[in-house]
Amino acid sequence: MIVYGYNVAEAILKNKNLCKKVRKIVIQDSLRAKFANLLPENAKFRVVYVRKCEIDFLAKGLHQGIMIDMDYSYCSLWDFLKKNPSSVVILDHLEDPHNFGAIIRTAKAAGFDGIIIPKDRGVGVTSTVVKTSVGTIFDIDVVQVTNLKNTIDELKKEGFWIVGTDMAGSDYRSIDYTGKIALVIGNEGKGMSKLVKDNCDFLATIPLTQNVESLNASVATGIMLYEYVRQKIKK
């Protein structure tokens, strides 16, 4: 995986375990001094210095002078459950990498233990997701599964209540989030799939004024996550 940007690079290079996954770093030659303090001593990865035009071509985005080629591995559901989590966000075939990255950042800030995504027909971890998360993706478990319905069944066995987001649901503030919670966020256009929706314990909606039909997926997620936080603090 290729990632880029100063904040992302800082998050990776200050973590010894993440440094072990780095294969190569490309740095804009004119910014060599800027990144000198980030590079760990006795690093085993290659560092290549190139002209700005070269890194512009390679990054195809706002790179801030640094690119990192590294390995990234998803967490398995079984390894995740072994950690005895109490909160998780399930993304039901979300498609926008910017939404995914923003949700990761907010979930980490709200103290959630992980994110679950499907293997097919949805966004996975990409350089855009990593950059939008501002590196917080490396501090939270991202679990990739082949079947969301079966995953929900496993979560229920572990004592999780499944809360889905749906326009026909109850006011999100009326739901008790003080137990083990899995919050399901549906696809940006279609919402939750029928099978996932049918297996939710509760359906929640965010009341809107008459002139607003819906909220961006990451914004709606943030509102829901912080209702969870509010209730936890109140408890």
Of 20, 51, 70, the last residue of a domain is: 70
Indicate whether 125 pLDDT > 80: yes
pLDDT at 35 over 80: yes
Together in a domain, 17 and 128: no
Clarify whether residues 112 and 216 are in a common domain: yes
Lowest mean pLDDT among 23-37, 91-105, 158-172, 202-216: 202-216
For the chain, what is the mean pLDDT?
Answer: 89
Q: Is the pLDDT of residue 158 over 90?
A: yes
183 burial level (CB within 10 Å; 0-12, 13-18, 19+): buried
* Secondary structure percentages of the chain, helix, strand, coil, to 5: 40, 25, 35
Contact (Cβ atoms closer than 8 angstroms) between residue 129 and residue 123: yes
**Structural tokens at position 102:** 């923003």
- Residue 9's domain comprises 2-70
Q: What is the CATH number of the domain that holds 123?
A: 3.40.1280.10
Residue 223 and residue 183 in contact, taking contact as beta carbons nearer than 8 Å = no
Domain stops at, among 70, 88, 105: 70
In a shared domain, residues 46 and 84:
no
pTM (two decimals) = 0.87
Phi, psi values for residue 198, rounded to 5°: -65, -20
pLDDT at 5: 84
**Model pLDDT for residues 41-95, shown as the tens digit of each residue:** 777 888 889 998 888 888 767 788 899 998 888 999 999 999 999 999 999 988 8
Using the 3D structure, point to which of 70, 94, 127 is the last residue of a domain: 70
Residues 208 and 177 in one domain: yes
Confidence at residue 146, expressed as pLDDT on a 0 to 100 scale: 92
**Cβ proximity of 68 and 12 under 8 Å:** yes
* Domain shared by 218 and 112, yes or no: yes
Q: What is the pLDDT of residue 209?
A: 80
Q: Is the confidence at residue 213, as pLDDT, over 80? A: no
How big is the chain by its Cα radius of gyration, in Å?
20
Q: 187: pLDDT confidence band, cut at 50, 70 and 90?
A: confident
Kindly give, in sequence order, each residue whose CB lies less than 8 Å from that of residue 117, ignoring residues fewer than 6 positions away: 90, 91, 94, 100, 123, 124, 142, 143, 144, 145
- Closest by CA to 176, choosing from 219, 230, 109, is 230
State whether 99 and 211 are in the same domain.
yes
Cα–Cα distance for residue pair 23/29, rounded to 1 Å: 19
